[in-house]
Amino acid sequence: MSIDPKTALDALYEQYSKRANAIRHDLGLQRSADFAEQAGERQNDEVLNALLAEAEAGMRQVGLARLRLADGSYGLCQRCGEPIEAGRLQALPAAEFCLACADKVRG
């Protein structure tokens, strides 16, 4: 079964966007006046900020994948130029690298 890359990227972007908006909302909530509770809230804010950064990074990756789709290079490894495995693109629509190159980039 083949999935349309544009549809997959749009859905992924929507997921990241909803997550980022929910986190921004949580970060904007009023904080407790109690000093002890403020310490816990600051710690929670650190976690939320890390999650927000992750969601925003995902949105950027999807944006780059959309650019590759527009210029015809979507589905080609950005390192070796070979096609990215269909299963990998299905699981990770914004994938930049084939599996072999992704292992090299990470490792």
C-alpha closest to that of 24 among 58, 56, 63: 56
Handedness of CA 28, 33, 35, 36 (dihedral sign): negative
Q: Where are the domains of the chain?
A: 5-106
Give the Cα separation of 85 and 76 in Å (integer). 9
Q: What string of pLDDT tens digits covers the 107 residues of the chain?
A: 577 999 999 999 999 999 999 999 988 887 766 666 776 778 888 999 999 999 999 999 999 999 999 999 999 999 999 999 999 999 999 999 999 999 998 87
pTM score, whole prediction: 0.84
- The CATH homologous superfamily for domain 5-106 is DksA, coiled-coil domain (1.20.120.910)
Site of tokens 């009023």: 30
